[in-house]
Amino acid sequence: MRNKFEVSAKVAIFNQDKTRILLMHIKSRDYYSLPGGHLELNENIQECAKREVFEETNVRLKEIKEESFFSHTTKNKIILGFSAIITDDAELGEETEDEGTPVWVYKNEFLKIKNIDLNYKKYILKVWNEQ
């Protein structure tokens, strides 16, 4: 029997001086994630990343950088990771029940977050340290 994996695109979005990252906070579970989501039929992965970021944060990304891929710790999901830089004054979207609220987080605060998938956290720190 084969394992089936979902494919998702997630984007580590940093502010211009790379002191903050934009995360999604799902209040009902007090959980954090990266903006992004599932690949749709006939969509390339870059289009997926940009579309999902816009749907969740109201931010239109012009350029994204392909970084790497990793798996979700508890789900059969392959994550294709990207990064992007946006201005500090980008207008963020409002909270949605399903996706959560986009929030800026400083690195020292991020390091204290426990309610995030461990592989997301490792990916974010890898990209952040390379920026």
pLDDT in tens, 6-20: 889 999 999 999 999
Mean pLDDT, the chain, rounded, equals 89
Residue 6 in domain: no
* pLDDT reported for residue 5: 76
pLDDT in tens, 73-130: 777 888 899 999 998 778 888 766 667 899 999 999 999 999 999 999 999 999 999 8
Cα of first residue to Cα of last residue in the chain, in angstroms, is 41
* pLDDT reported for residue 36: 95
One-letter identity of residue 112: K
Residue 1 in domain: no
Q: What CATH number has the domain bearing residue 80?
A: 3.90.79.10
Q: At a CB cut-off of 8 Å and minimum separation 6, what does 64 contact?
A: 11, 46, 49, 50, 82, 83, 84
Number of domains comprising the chain: 1
| Domain of 25, in residue numbers | 15-91+101-130
pTM of structure = 0.89
Residue 105 in domain: yes
Beta strands 77-86 and 6-15, pairing class: parallel
